[in-house]
Structure 1
Amino acid sequence: MASRSWRSVRGRTTLGATVVVAVALLIGAFSFYGVLSASIHGSTERAAEQRLEELTERAGGPGGKGIDALEDEILQIIGADGSVRAASEDAREKLGSTPLPVDDDPQTTTVDGETVLVVSEDIERDQTLVLAVSMEDDAQTLATVATLLAIALPLLLLLVAVTTWSVVSRALRPVELIREEVDGITAERLHQRVPVPETADEVAALATTMNGMLDRLDAAATAQRRFVSDASHELRSPLATIRQHAELAQAHPDVTSIGELAEVVSEEGLRLQGIVESLLLLARLDEGASTHDEAVDLDDIALGEVRRLRATGIDVDGSGIHAARVHGDPRLLGQLVRNLADNAVRHSRGRVAIGVTPSEGYVFVTIEDDGTGVPAEERERIFERFVRLDEARSRDAGGSGLGLAIARGIAASGHGTLTVDDSRWGGARFVLTLPLGA
């Protein structure tokens, strides 16, 4: 089917190009023939008028002296009464006493079955000198040109058709190869790439673009498989914990009490709920789901986190918090700041600082700690889902590995950015940048 479609495109393209060229050639041929015909007739007319002027001097005498002796020319002197007063030998043989038509403008007529051009000039004693010039050479020239055009046009059209067919075939062949290769690429074969022709033209650019798209699809599919694997692992862990305690309680009811089992089930259930809610939030952020948009005071959110952390005994510096307002979803922005604050507490040695600074149309929220910091090569990877650095591999200490991914997703949904660098104490400093609201 695809091969037939390719041949159909090639055929339509060839036919279309041939028709266009045929119309152009026909218009050009008719125009050329018309211009050539007018040029030849004009040249014949000028030559006849020039010859007539030369003969006018010879015909000026009585009875048109010298006219009777002229050969190979059809020439008459016609009186005012329309009678032939004198004529050349050819005129007498072909016309007898029949006069040629007299007119101020050149005329064409037939003499003895031959088309001639008739020109006239007034001479003395109310007489008119009339000359008839044969147009057979003109007709033969135009007939030869018409014959050549009739032969050349079909041959030229055939050449155009063959050339177009060949060029289109060569142009479409790489496209067909790309199509065949793409048609065979499935979800399990996203590593394959289409051939890039060495032509450096639009087809090569198309192949390069297709390979770039396949690279993105391959990366997305790989990330999705990794995400599914990591999510499955994260969900399996609390489920396995619940099952192990349940089996232990069932096998040894005297060792595990109902209260201990309920406590384990409650803790792991809350953990499962948190993972599921985080995954749902990430899915909504990926889909670009619309969120509630209103004016939000970031300084209030930051001060709330300062009070919350201080209540747990954490030394939090909130002196860098200044008034700043943005537009966004207050619930998501609150979760963003809380995720960053919890991450800072998790890695700090005892000191955390939260700052809010408006500047030049943006607001910068900084949350820093005095921990070990984030290595430069890991500063992008920590925002990937289910990523925990070595020191935070423990799920009790490191969480599910979704907090920073959610934070960056919320920042991106609010047209902002989230980056990490070094804090003043050598730990990590997360910088959230959002456009200021009215």
Structure 2
Amino acid sequence: MRSVRARAALGATLVVAVALTAAGLAVLLVLRGNLTDRAGLEAEVTAREVAGELALGTPYAELELDDADSHPVQVTDEEGRVVAASEDLEAISGTGTAAAGPAPSAPVPAPAPDGDDDDQGEDGEDPGRGEVSTDTPDFENGTATVDGESQEYRFAAVEATTRQGVTLTVHAGAPLAAEQEAVNTVRTSMLTGLPVMLLVVAGVTWLVTRRALRPVEGIRRELAAITASEDLARRVPEPESRDEIARLARTTNETLAVLEESVGRQRRFVADASHELRSPIASLRTQLEVGAAHPELLDVPGAVEDTVRLQALAADLLLLARLDAGERPGRTAVDLGALVREEVSQRVADRVPPQVSVADPGPFEVAGSRQQLARVIGNLLDNAERHAERSVALSVRAERQAVVVEVTDDGAGVPEAERERIFERFVRLDDARARDDGGAGLGLAIARDVAVRHGGTLAAGTAAGGGARFTLRLPAAPGPVR
């Protein structure tokens, strides 16, 4: 079954069927037990009445055993011989003795003495009284045939002792027809009502599930339309409920918003990259075409400069592509103090040589990629030198289980409203500035991406002298890093 509604309806129906079947069996067992106990109680009452008569010395022939249809009675002695039985009793089972009438050799008890003092002997002494057992009787199910009709009975066995000291067992039965009829009626009602109940449960479950999943179908259709149209600005409908489906719709819209923004950034990146690559490629082609037509006019230094610029831009784009693809930095130990000194030592030709200040003691180790971290420091120094007037300062210090690198300059600084925008790709605050002077606008974007992927931060602020201050904060290595 591919339909959630069908699976839900089938599952609910099966659960209800199992529950109702178990409950029905329990009801039938309890009902049968109660009715059987009731029949057993009726049989016990009858057996004790007959046992009481025997204990008082009533002869077998004078016992009240007339109601054979409702309560068949059989009396046996210690040897299992039938001494008395209900009239019209033709067959019996479940009492231990199959005989339906008195045996010819059964003893006949002596009649009780006549007179008001029938309880006194010749010498005025009590000849003895019989007794009825007070123990819980034994119960058995059996059958009895009376006037040619057989029925099932619940038999109770009660012992009685006569005046002569003879122990007799009275077996009295109560019919189980009412119990069987009640159980059969309940069973028939359950078997008739169970399919109807299951159909109702299946139908209700189907309708409820269909109604509950209707928003899901709306979400699916809208997503299919978005996929077909490639319009990421569209959104799926959000139900007014506060259930899981509403949360699913909200999460789907949030995912679409992030996807739309990601695709937008990718498109802008491709457009900006194409625009940035067009200028050096066009300049280089022009110089080569001029040089091919007029070798004496070939500007070799300009061609080399354009080639270097093109190479740097391609390297920046390649690094950004790797970062966007989720490339993880290495886990080698990098001493930022030593790395800063190394980077500064290679910048002897800068217009404004940076001044380095490394706090003691060191080392200042972080875990990451040495090449990428060197790229961050180099980009920050390039940015500072581009905007500085007379000085660029760089410092390294440890601060709260972190290593902090600050690069400051004495230039015009970064307006507060633009301090986050400058980290976007291809963003240059001075749009009127020539590209050759201002760069492609990728250095700070690369620096922040690398810092974030190393678990750190990169923020812009104001230096003490009024220029720009860029603060790189990276978590210090907790221990030896391999």
TM-score by length of 1: 0.87
The within-5 A match list for 1:178-257 is 178-186=219-227, 188-245=230-287, 257=296
Q: Distance in 1 between matches of 2:62 and 2:307?
A: 134
Higher mean C-alpha deviation, range 139-148 or range 279-288: 279-288
Which residue, out of 422, 428, 446, partners 1:388?
A: 428
SS where residue 145 of structure 1 aligns? helix
Conserved? CA contact 1:382–1:389, under 8 Å:
yes
TM-superposed CA distance for 1:405, in Å, is 1.3
Tell me the residue number matched to 2:317. 279
Matched, 1:118 2:185: no
TM-superposed CA distance for 1:109, in Å, is 2.2
TM-superposed CA distance for 1:398, in Å, is 1.3
SS where residue 92 of structure 1 aligns? coil
Q: Distance in 2 between matches of 1:436 and 1:68?
A: 107
Give the residue type in structure 1 aligned to 2:221. Answer: E
Tell me the residue number matched to 1:266. 304
Could you say if the C-alpha distance between residues 292 and 62 of structure 1 is closer, same or farther in structure 2, counting changes exceeding 3 Å?
closer
Tell me the residue number matched to 2:402. 362
Tell me the residue number matched to 2:13. 18
TM-superposed CA distance for 1:20, in Å, is 2.8
Could you say if the C-alpha distance between residues 361 and 82 of structure 1 is closer, same or farther in structure 2, counting changes exceeding 3 Å?
closer
Tell me the residue number matched to 1:421. 461
Give the residue type in structure 2 aligned to 1:214. Answer: L
TM-superposed CA distance for 1:404, in Å, is 0.8
Give the residue type in structure 1 aligned to 2:419. Answer: R
Higher fraction of helix:
1
Of structures 1 and 2, the larger Rg is shown by: 2
TM-superposed CA distance for 1:14, in Å, is 1.9
TM-superposed CA distance for 1:412, in Å, is 2.6
Q: Distance in 2 between matches of 1:312 and 1:171?
A: 68
Tell me the residue number matched to 2:53. 58
Give the residue type in structure 2 aligned to 1:119. Answer: A
Higher mean C-alpha deviation, range 112-121 or range 241-250: 241-250
TM-superposed CA distance for 1:356, in Å, is 0.2
Tell me the residue number matched to 1:105. 138
Conserved? CA contact 1:58–1:65, under 8 Å:
no
TM-superposed CA distance for 1:216, in Å, is 0.9
Question: 5+ residue gaps in structure 2?
Answer: 98-136
TM-superposed CA distance for 1:307, in Å, is 4.3
Conserved? CA contact 1:306–1:354, under 8 Å:
no
Tell me the residue number matched to 2:377. 337
Structure 1 runs of 4+ aligned residues shifted over 6 Å read 247-251
Tell me the residue number matched to 1:29. 24
Give the residue type in structure 2 aligned to 1:26. Answer: T
Conserved? CA contact 2:358–2:395, under 8 Å:
yes
Could you say if the C-alpha distance between residues 107 and 340 of structure 1 is closer, same or farther in structure 2, counting changes exceeding 3 Å?
same
SS where residue 24 of structure 1 aligns? helix
Q: Distance in 2 between matches of 1:136 and 1:383?
A: 93
Could you say if the C-alpha distance between residues 217 and 126 of structure 1 is closer, same or farther in structure 2, counting changes exceeding 3 Å?
same
Q: Distance in 2 between matches of 1:194 and 1:304?
A: 54
Conserved? CA contact 1:67–1:75, under 8 Å:
no
Conserved? CA contact 2:329–2:454, under 8 Å:
no
Q: Distance in 1 between matches of 2:78 and 2:407?
A: 121
SS where residue 52 of structure 1 aligns? helix
Q: Distance in 2 between matches of 1:361 and 1:100?
A: 92
1:188-245 deviations in whole A, cap 9, x for unaligned?
A: 3111111111221111111111111111110100000000010011011122333455
Higher mean C-alpha deviation, range 384-393 or range 268-277: 384-393
Give the residue type in structure 1 aligned to 2:58. Answer: P
Tell me the residue number matched to 1:297. 335
Conserved? CA contact 1:354–1:368, under 8 Å:
yes
Higher mean C-alpha deviation, range 232-241 or range 102-111: 102-111
SS where residue 301 of structure 1 aligns? helix
Matched, 1:140 2:135: no
Could you say if the C-alpha distance between residues 39 and 338 of structure 1 is closer, same or farther in structure 2, counting changes exceeding 3 Å?
same
Q: Distance in 1 between matches of 2:202 and 2:274?
A: 62
Q: How many residues align?
A: 425
TM-superposed CA distance for 1:141, in Å, is 1.1
Tell me the residue number matched to 2:204. 163
Q: Distance in 2 between matches of 1:393 and 1:58?
A: 130
SS where residue 276 of structure 1 aligns? helix
The alignment yields a C-alpha RMSD, in angstroms, of 2.8
Could you say if the C-alpha distance between residues 49 and 249 of structure 1 is closer, same or farther in structure 2, counting changes exceeding 3 Å?
same
Could you say if the C-alpha distance between residues 64 and 433 of structure 1 is closer, same or farther in structure 2, counting changes exceeding 3 Å?
same
1:136-181 deviations in whole A, cap 9, x for unaligned?
A: 1111111111111111211211111112211221222222221121
Conserved? CA contact 2:42–2:174, under 8 Å:
no
Conserved? CA contact 1:68–1:86, under 8 Å:
no
Higher mean C-alpha deviation, range 216-225 or range 178-187: 178-187
TM-superposed CA distance for 1:396, in Å, is 2.2
Of structures 1 and 2, the one with the larger relative CO (CA 8 A, separation 6+) is 2
Q: Distance in 2 between matches of 1:182 and 1:100?
A: 76
SS where residue 226 of structure 2 aligns? coil
Give the residue type in structure 1 aligned to 2:365. Answer: R
Q: Distance in 2 between matches of 1:100 and 1:226?
A: 97
Higher mean C-alpha deviation, range 176-185 or range 78-87: 78-87
Could you say if the C-alpha distance between residues 299 and 32 of structure 1 is closer, same or farther in structure 2, counting changes exceeding 3 Å?
same
TM-superposed CA distance for 1:339, in Å, is 0.8
Q: Distance in 2 between matches of 1:318 and 1:83?
A: 125
Conserved? CA contact 2:138–2:158, under 8 Å:
no
Higher mean C-alpha deviation, range 34-43 or range 133-142: 34-43
Could you say if the C-alpha distance between residues 416 and 99 of structure 1 is closer, same or farther in structure 2, counting changes exceeding 3 Å?
closer
Question: 5+ residue gaps in structure 1?
Answer: none
TM-superposed CA distance for 1:432, in Å, is 0.8
